[in-house]
C-alpha cells in the first residue's frame, strides 16, 4: 500500500448563528507499506490513528490524497468498484464485538464476510471454513456454537482476527486490537499474529498507544502528533524527534541500570480547529526555537528507513561538531 498526502477534515456547525468549523483530524500523511511488513502507528489519544486507519481502509473517504493498493487508488473508487477489492484489506477493531449482534453465534460471525461479498457456500463448505478459521487462530472447534458472552476477551479477539482472515486478505489493519487484553493474553495474541504473518504472508498496520509493544512487534513505526507524522522510526533506531523521545522515556524499563531521566511533556495539545502555523509540538517542546512556531517542519529522510520532521534537529546537524 502506498499512501500519498492523505488528509481528512471534519466539518461541524454551519447552522443558524453557528459558524462552520473545520477540524483537521489527519493532515498530509504519506507512507508505504511493503508486502509482509508490519508497520506500527503510535501517538496520543486523539492524534488521528483510528481516522487514518479508516481512511486507508476506505471506511472513510479522504478529503485529499491517494491510497494506492496494488496500484489502484481506493480513495477515489466508487463504492461499487471498491466492493470486489475490499476482501484484500480487512480491519480488526479493539472490541470486535461492539458492532456484532450479541445473539449471533461465532459460526455466523465468521461466515458473515462471505454473505457480505455474495460468495455462496454449501453447508459443508461453510462448516469446513468455520473449522479452518478457528484452527488458524488456535481456538477449539466447539466454540463455533458459542455466543459472545460465553467467551473471554482473548477468545473474542481471536474470533475478530479469524473473521478478518475469512476472505484471505493480504493487508490487515489492527486498531488497538490488543489494548483491552491483559499482558499475558496480549503476548499470546501478538505471537499468533506473528505466526499468521509468516504462514499467510500477511502485511499489518498495527495501531497502538503502547510504544514499547509497537517497537517490539513492528518493522517500522509512524509516530503521529495532531494528525501528522512527525517521525518514521525503524525497529531499534534511536528516536530523534523530541516528541518520540518523550514517548520513549515514558516506557518503563524493568532494569535499574537503565534508568533514564524522565522527560516530562508539559503544555496542552493545540486544538485541531485552529492548527498552529508551525510545528504542532512547539508549545510543548523543550527544545523549541522561534522558527518552530513560524513554519511547518517537513518529514526529511535521515537514513534509508528513518525520517523526521523537526527544525531543531535540522539546525543541529548543520552545525559541525568539533
Provide the minimum distance between the beta carbon of 197 and ligand ATP in the complex, in angstroms, as a whole number: 23
Residues 27-86, interacting with Mg ion (CB under 5 A): 49-50
Site string for ligand ATP, 25-44 (x = CB under 6 A): x-----------------x-
Residue 66 contacts residue 3 (beta carbons within 8 Å): yes
The verdict on 94 binding Mg ion (CB under 5 A) reads: no
Q: Which is nearer to ligand ATP, 10 or 114 (CB)?
A: 10
Q: In whole angstroms, what separates CA 41 from the centre of its chain?
A: 5
Q: Does 275 bind ligand ATP (CB under 6 A)?
A: no
> Which of Mg ion, ligand ATP, none sits in contact with 114, Cβ below 5 to 8 A by type?
none
Question: 115 CB contacts (<8 Å, ≥6 apart)?
Answer: none
User: Residue 46 interacts with ligand ATP (CB under 6 A)?
Assistant: yes
Q: CB of 283: closest distance to Mg ion in angstroms?
A: 23
Measured distance CA(15)–CA(22) in Å, rounded: 14
CB of residue 37 vs ligand ATP: minimum separation in angstroms? 21
Whether residue 11 contacts residue 63, with contact meaning beta carbons closer than 8 Å, is answered with no
Residues in a beta bridge with 31: 3
Distances from the Cα of 253 to the Cα of 158, 212, 248, 259, angstroms: 29, 9, 10, 8
Q: CA-CA distances (angstroms) from residue 196 to 95, 110, 117, 181?
A: 20, 17, 23, 19
3-state helix, strand, coil in the chain (%, to 5): 35, 20, 45
- Find which of ligand ATP, Mg ion, none residue 25 binds, CB within 5 to 8 Å per kind: ligand ATP
Closest C-alpha to 46, from 295, 267, 204, 227: 227
Counting residues that bind Mg ion (by CB under 5 A) gives 2
> Is residue 177 close enough to count as binding Mg ion by CB under 5 A?
no
With CB under 5 to 8 Å by kind, the binding choice for 40 among ligand ATP, Mg ion, none is none
To which residue does cell 508505504 refer? 32
Q: Is 49 in the site for ligand ATP (CB under 6 A)?
A: yes
Residue placing its CB nearer to ligand ATP in the complex, 48 or 242:
48
Q: Is 50 in the site for ligand ATP (CB under 6 A)?
A: yes
CA distance 10 to 163: 30
Q: How far is the CB of 308 from Mg ion (least distance, A)?
A: 24
Q: Which residues contact 23 (CB under 8 A, 6 or more apart)?
A: 9, 10, 11, 12, 272, 273
Closer CB to Mg ion, residue 49 or residue 245?
Answer: 49
**Residues of this chain, 180-199, that bind ligand ATP according to CB under 6 A:** none
Between 58 and 313, name the residue whose CB sits nearer to ligand ATP: 58
Kindly list the residues in this chain that would bind Mg ion in the complex (CB under 5 A): 49-50
Binding site for ligand ATP (CB under 6 A): 10, 23, 25, 43, 45-51, 209, 272
Amino acid at each position: 500500500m502506498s499512501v500519498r498526502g492523505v488528509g481528512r477534515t471534519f466539518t461541524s456547525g454551519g447552522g443558524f448563528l453557528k459558524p462552520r468549523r473545520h477540524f483537521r483530524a489527519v493532515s498530509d500523511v504519506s507512507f508505504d507499506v511493503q508486502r509482509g511488513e508490519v508497520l506500527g502507528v503510535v501517538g496520543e489519544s486523539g492524534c488521528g490513528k483510528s481516522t487514518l486507519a479508516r481512511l486507508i481502509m476506505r471506511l472513510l473517504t479522504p478529503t485529499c490524497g491517494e491510497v494506492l493498493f496494488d496500484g489502484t487508488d481506493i480513495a477515489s473508487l466508487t463504492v461499487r468498484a471498491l466492493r470486489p477489492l475490499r476482501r484484500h484489506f480487512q480491519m480488526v477493531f479493539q472490541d470486535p464485538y461492539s458492532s456484532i449482534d450479541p445473539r449471533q453465534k461465532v459460526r455466523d460471525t465468521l461466515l458473515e464476510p462471505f454473505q457480505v461479498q455474495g460468495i455462496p457456500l454449501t453447508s459443508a463448505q461453510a462448516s469446513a471454513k468455520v473449522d479452518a478459521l478457528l484452527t488458524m487462530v488456535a481456538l477449539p472447534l466447539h466454540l463455533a456454537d458459542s455466543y459472545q458472552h460465553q467467551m473471554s476477551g482473548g477468545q473474542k479477539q481471536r474470533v475478530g482476527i479469524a473473521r478478518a482472515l475469512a476472505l484471505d486478505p493480504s493487508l490487515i489493519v489492527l486498531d488497538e486490537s490488543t489494548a483491552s487484553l491483559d499482558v499475558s493474553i496480549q503476548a499470546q495474541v501478538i505471537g499468533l499474529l506473528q505466526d499468521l504473518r509468516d504462514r499467510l504472508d500477511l502485511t499489518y498496520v498495527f495501531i497502538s498507544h503502547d510504544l514499547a509493544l509497537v517497537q517490539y512487534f513492528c518493522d517500522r513505526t509512524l509516530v503521529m502528533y495532531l494528525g501528522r507524522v512527525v517521525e518514521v522510526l525503524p525497529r531499534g533506531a534511536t528516536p530523534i524527534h523530541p516528541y518520540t523521545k518523550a514517548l520513549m522515556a515514558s516506557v518503563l524499563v524493568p532494569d535499574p541500570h537503565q534508568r533514564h531521566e524522565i522527560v516530562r511533556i508539559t503544555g496542552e495539545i493545540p486544538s485541531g480547529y485552529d492548527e498552529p502555523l508551525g510545528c504542532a509540538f512547539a508549545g510543548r517542546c523543550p527544545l523549541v526555537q522561534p522558527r518552530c512556531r513560524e513554519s511547518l517542519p517537513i518529514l526529511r529522510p535521515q537514513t534509508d528507513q528513518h525520517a523526521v520532521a523537526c527544525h531543531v534537529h535540522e539546525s543541529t546537524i548543520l552545525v559541525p561538531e568539533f
